[in-house]
Amino acid sequence: MSRVWKPSVTVAAVVERDGRFLLVEERMEDGLRINQPAGHLEPGETLQQAVMRETLEETAHPFTPTALLGIYLWRRPGPADATTYLRFAFTGELQERIAGRPLDRVIVQTVWLSRQELAQRSGEWRSPLVARCIDDYLSGQRYPLDVLYAHPAAFAPATGYA
């Protein structure tokens, strides 16, 4: 029986205020890395719900997606079985930080960086998608959220297969 290839589905929030972008510094096995607030799609949630949850967990800011920025495919360098990521990036509205709300355990802090400041720290990027998403945002790329459809079966309790 051959192994079925499955990319890891992730979401990310691209938020800009006054020419600076909301990013997180996260603790990884290979040191501190810079990323957008991002994470994995979990069972029973839509892509929009996932980006709202991940942004809140990683920044303590409620986030409401207003547009799909893009869909990105990237494979981590390394062995043939290295993880491939399918990232859905959103832009939207960020609310004020919820005082006292803790951040995910791997998040060291949130930072606001300009595109130029981010470029100066390219060795710290979690992936090349960090800059690509911001560049797409800056170019004005946006897609309506209704291009995303979630069938109701995606939210039904899992059943076994015969």
- The shares of helix, strand and coil residues in the chain, as percent rounded to the nearest 5, are 25, 35, 40
Q: Which structural domain range is residue 98 located in? A: 8-142
Angstrom distances, CA of residue 70 to CA of 60, 63, 161? 24, 17, 33
Which residue(s) pair with 73 in the sheet? 86
Number of compact structural domains in the chain? 1
The first and second tokens of residue 69, run together, are 């920025």
Which distant-in-sequence residues (6+ apart) come within 8 Å of 109 by Cβ?
A: 24, 25, 103
In a domain, 162, yes or no: no
pLDDT, averaged across the chain:
94
Question: Can you give the CATH number for the domain in which 115 is found?
Answer: 3.90.79.10
How far is 61 from 31, CA to CA, in rounded Å? 25
Instruction: Determine which of 27-36, 76-85, 116-125, 133-142 has the lowest per-residue pLDDT on average.
Output: 76-85
Question: What was the pLDDT predicted at 131?
Answer: 98
In a domain, 64, yes or no: yes
In a domain, 2, yes or no: no
For the segment 89-109, what is each residue's pLDDT rounded down to a tens digit?
999 999 999 999 999 999 999
Instruction: Identify the band that residue 2 occupies on the pLDDT scale cut at 50, 70 and 90.
Output: low
The first and second tokens of residue 114, run together, are 């300009």
In a domain, 26, yes or no: yes
Question: What was the pLDDT predicted at 160?
Answer: 60
**Listed residue (124, 123, 143, 141) closest to 133, CA to CA:** 141
Whether residue 90 contacts residue 70, with contact meaning beta carbons closer than 8 Å, is answered with no
In a domain, 80, yes or no: yes
In a domain, 73, yes or no: yes
Flag whether pLDDT at 82 surpasses 70. yes
In a domain, 160, yes or no: no
Which string of DSSP letters, residue by residue, matches 117-149?
Answer: HHHHTGGGBSSTHHHHHHHHHHTT--B-GGG--
Whether residue 154 contacts residue 50, with contact meaning beta carbons closer than 8 Å, is answered with no
Within 13 A of 33's CA, how many CA atoms are on the CB side? 17
pTM, full prediction? 0.92
* Average pLDDT, integer, range 65-88: 93
